Amino acid sequence: MKAIALCFLILTSLHAPLCLAQTAPDTDYWERARKLLERSQRGESLSESEQSFLAEAKARRARAAMGGNTGMQGDGATAPLKWPVPPVPVSLDLSPILPLEITATDGRNSTIYWRKPQGEGPFPAILFIHGGLDEYPVESLHAHLTENPIITRFLSAGHAVVMATFRTYSQEIQSRGPILDVSAALDGMARLPSIDPGRIFVYGGSGGGSIALELASDERPSGVIACEPATVIYTGMLDTADYGVRLEMMREPERFFTKEVADRTLTKLKTIQAPVLIIHSDRHDLVKLNKPMILPLMREAGVKVDYREYPGYGHGFYWGGGGDRWGKAADTAVVEAVFADVLKFVTQGK
């Protein structure tokens, strides 16, 4: 139990418990990482070796956190990413990974990656936004495009798939920077001749689900899929990097979702233009905020919203991962169910 507790203490992401700490050596590793993180957050200077160690720990956490995946075996920093459910293989010879250079409105340049079905198109496209609060490295974006069971299913079904990332904002939770980054990705996609600009959808999970909801107020997406969205961010409730406060807000949202927050959120929801599909389990604490509080407000605001619940699964099941203290890991049945529900959503009215 101590090892599991430690893996939660070092997280700065909303969507992925890091459960590599199963052995005594790993427990010592994450205990050291936790202490260094606390020192860094207090503004203490770290030695070069300590900075290097903390950077490595964050990289391990980011790789293990993808989609809430706890099925990955091995080191975590160097081992290939694996989800519990296998992908639908799509040949890289026929559908290579392509870079896309983008520039946010504040001038920040970055690169995202995408794949398209064989042929000229134009194809409908889905922009995928990972969870958490940290930027993902290139190898992680590539792994999603080749190994993720949800993303490869959409590629196989004839959709261009784009894997976005965003600047790290773990210390500035209400920063608009990540939204600007993903908005720039939308702009870049719309300019690609092989993508139909009238059929671009956004799919985000947890922290990425909050960003997806932000983009639902934009006229560009044809629809938004928000998977267990981190509405503690979207509503403005969370404005601290303190992970303990984050957990408390999700565990007891009624204490924080005041009338002032609800009124502000209702005004914000009224700006949503795109239809929204919410994908949720009944297990993660975010359901305590999203189902009884946010969903009724969305309907009051006039949002065209559909809510789909998949009982028993852990946070990240919508990526084909999950498996944490909240629920079980994804299996083929739930991956196929999520894929079918989202496919129906993105093809309705076609």
In a shared domain, residues 198 and 342: yes
Average pLDDT, the chain: 85
In a shared domain, residues 107 and 61: no
pLDDT grade for 82, boundaries at 50, 70 and 90? confident
Residue type, 326: W
Residue 87 lies in a domain: no
Share of the chain above pLDDT 70, in %: 83
In a shared domain, residues 63 and 109: no
Q: Running DSSP on this structure, what letter comes out for residue 136?
A: P
Query: Rounded to 5 degrees, what are φ and ψ at 242?
Result: -65, 115
Q: What is the pLDDT of residue 81?
A: 60
Q: State the angle between helix axes of 207-215 and 177-190 in degrees (0 to 180), rounded to the nearest 10.
A: 60
In a shared domain, residues 56 and 112: no
Domain around 19: 2-68
Q: What is the pLDDT of residue 20?
A: 32
pLDDT at 305 exceeding the cut of 50: yes
pLDDT at 6 exceeding the cut of 50: no
Residue 283 lies in a domain: yes
CB 72, CB 63: distance < 8 Å = yes
Q: What is the pLDDT of residue 41?
A: 75
pLDDT at 126 exceeding the cut of 50: yes
Q: pLDDT tens digit string along 20-64?
A: 333 334 567 677 888 888 887 777 888 867 776 777 666 555 444
Q: pLDDT tens digit string along 194-249?
A: 999 999 999 999 999 999 999 999 999 999 999 999 999 999 999 998 888 989 99
Residue 221 lies in a domain: yes
Q: What's the CATH code of the domain at 342?
A: 3.40.50.1820
In a shared domain, residues 54 and 109: no
Q: What is the pLDDT of residue 42?
A: 79
Q: Running DSSP on this structure, what letter comes out for residue 324?
A: S
In a shared domain, residues 58 and 109: no
Among 55, 12, 9, 11, CA closest to 170: 12
Residue 294 has which token pair? 């946010």
Q: What is the pLDDT of residue 323?
A: 79
CB 276, CB 283: distance < 8 Å = no
In a shared domain, residues 170 and 317: yes
Q: pLDDT tens digit string along 147-174?
A: 999 999 999 999 999 999 999 998 899 9
pTM for this model (two decimals): 0.80
Residue 126 lies in a domain: yes
- Per residue, what are the HEC states of 58-124? HHHHHHHHHHHCCCCCCCCCCCCCCCCCCCCCCCCCCCCCEEEEEECCCCCEEEEEEECCCCCCCEE
Share of the chain above pLDDT 90, in %: 69
Residue 337 has which token pair? 């169910």
> Which of 53, 68, 83 corresponds to the end of one domain?
68
In a shared domain, residues 278 and 320: yes
> Which of 68, 84, 109 corresponds to the end of one domain?
68
- Partners of 123 in beta bridges: 195
Distance CA 181, CA 186 (A): 9
CB 126, CB 82: distance < 8 Å = no
- Note the maximum CA span of the chain: 58
Residue 78 lies in a domain: no
In a shared domain, residues 211 and 339: yes
Burial class for 349, CB neighbours closer than 10 Å (0-12, 13-18, 19+): exposed
Among 220, 208, 203, 216, CA closest to 165: 208
> Which of 68, 89, 117 corresponds to the end of one domain?
68
Residue 45 lies in a domain: yes
pLDDT grade for 285, boundaries at 50, 70 and 90? very high
Distance CA 118, CA 94 (A): 6
In a shared domain, residues 248 and 316: yes
Residue 229 has which token pair? 């969205």
pLDDT at 74 exceeding the cut of 60: no
**Cα dihedral 250, 252, 253, 257 sign:** negative
Residue 80 lies in a domain: no
Distance CA 164, CA 181 (A): 8
Least confident of 72-76, 97-101, 209-213, 301-305: 72-76
Burial class for 119, CB neighbours closer than 10 Å (0-12, 13-18, 19+): exposed
Residue 35 lies in a domain: yes
pLDDT at 79 exceeding the cut of 90: no
Q: What is the pLDDT of residue 44?
A: 83
In a shared domain, residues 187 and 294: yes
In a shared domain, residues 170 and 288: yes
pLDDT at 14 exceeding the cut of 70: no
Structural domain tally of the chain?
2
